[in-house]
Structure 1
């Protein structure tokens, strides 16, 4: 029914071979692109996972909060800080704290040379002034923040002294972005005998 010469069959075979080779090349290029993209996505997913884990776990834990009382006002706030369980080492020099309340908003670094901020060791940290790093779950540092009194000339942050019944929301943010929030409540009654109060 159909007549083909040997030359015609050869031409058809070469054309099919060229198309087949082209398809294999396209498939190989597509596979290479997919493998490369999958590798980049895997790397990005790993980095995102590590950052997300750090933002959740690398946070501070506030063990206790107290205030120094002068003339029935809280003039200094002392935070005893520790690492949260499962956290990597936390450097207080790379941590910020934010105060929000009736006295406004104030953000500052918790560095030892920040005006109105002092860091001292309670347990486990050998050099808290120049290297305040919590490396173990048993480590404890005391962070003292001096509040603003317009009548006294001293190192202090811009947030005003706390009066009876005041509430302040305090947020600590580590360098990895993990946050710890605490609400400070001043007792509704402070007597002249009180030199310090638990907040």
Structure 2
């Protein structure tokens, strides 16, 4: 029923060497695949860390508008100059205010003022610092702001953090001077 097969010693060695070659090839393929996976995981980890740092800067390094006033050349006339006072938000790292972009957009969205300060009093806005920025609407803006008008001010820091402030001109002007709080 069962047949007994005798093998030569030479055949047995050849089968062992073939198996060893296949085993070594499998180990090499597995080692290369593991190296690729480890390299990819390291790359993804570095990319995730840098993305996290950039996101944190965009969220935490913000500039706040502390006050905004409008000035009129004549009592009861249109607002022709807007002055804002800015400072750092809580927990913010210093912000290079010279590279911060200021944009003023009126409510009809037809007049945009883009302004970079260049070299203001302080290059880096540090904690506790205050900087005033003045917009001359006569020369920089398409029109002055009238009673009841609204304008949107957007500040974009070099990190990409944006602060949006809506400036509302009182209606009617209080008539007590040439400056109004926006």
Taking structure 2 as the reference length, what is the TM-score of the superposition? 0.90
Q: Do structure 1's residue 186 and structure 2's residue 177 form an aligned pair? A: no
> Partner of 1:105 in structure 2?
111
Segments of 4+ in structure 1 off by > 3 A?
A: none
Q: Which runs of 5 or more residues in structure 1 are unaligned?
A: 114-118, 120-127, 149-155
Structure 2 counterpart SS, 1:30? helix
Taking the TM superposition and a 5 Å limit, the aligned residue runs for 1:150-189 are 156-189=139-172
Q: Do structure 1's residue 64 and structure 2's residue 67 form an aligned pair? A: yes
Deviates more, 1:66-75 or 1:17-26: 66-75
Figure out how many residues of one structure are paired with residues of the other and give that number: 176
Provide the rounded CA distance (Å) in 2 between the counterparts of 1:197 and 1:158. 18
Q: Which structure: greater helix fraction? A: 2
Taking the TM superposition and a 5 Å limit, the aligned residue runs for 1:27-176 are 27-71=30-74, 72-101=77-106, 102=108, 104-112=110-118, 119=120, 128=121, 131-136=122-127, 138-148=128-138, 156-176=139-159
Residue 191 of structure 1: how far off its partner (Å): 5.0
Larger-Rg structure: 2
Taking structure 1 as the reference length, what is the TM-score of the superposition? 0.83
Indicate the RMSD between aligned Cα atoms, in angstroms.
1.6
Deviates more, 1:187-196 or 1:77-86: 187-196
Provide the rounded CA distance (Å) in 2 between the counterparts of 1:61 and 1:184. 14
Q: Which runs of 5 or more residues in structure 2 are unaligned?
A: none
- Cα deviation, 1:139-197, whole Å, max 9, x if unaligned, reads 1111111112xxxxxxx313421110000111110011000001110001125542100
